[in-house]
Amino acid sequence: MKVPRLKETWILYLAAKGCPTLQIRVGDSEVASSLFTNYRDSYGLCASDLKPNCGNVYDSTGAVIARISYNGRAWNERGELMHEACDV
């Protein structure tokens, strides 16, 4: 019997001045984008409020595999657009 391979879980890092620092498991960049924009909007954050590495998405080895920019767009590690911001 063949065992199905589980999809790798990624970690979205969220951190901003005066806000909780979160590391959230996500399954894809669209979920990461949605969570990022919810975090940004819930706390009324400006880009200058974000701490270094906020919006980074890490794989299981700790390597950055994507970045969610302030506007919610998802970019891969080569800086190529993966998709536009998700509507929330």
Asked whether the predicted pLDDT for residue 3 surpasses 90, the reply is no
**How many domains does one find in the chain?**
1
Q: How confident is the model at residue 9 (pLDDT cuts 50, 70, 90)?
A: confident
Residue 88 lies in a domain: no
pLDDT digits (tens, 9 = 90+) for 33-80: 999 999 999 999 999 999 999 999 999 999 999 999 999 999 999 999
Residue 1 lies in a domain: no
Residue 5 lies in a domain: no
**For residue 44, what are the domain limits?**
10-83
Measured CA distances, 82 to 1, 49, 72, 76 (Å)? 36, 24, 11, 6
C-alpha to C-alpha distance for 85 and 88, rounded to whole angstroms: 9
Residue 3 lies in a domain: no
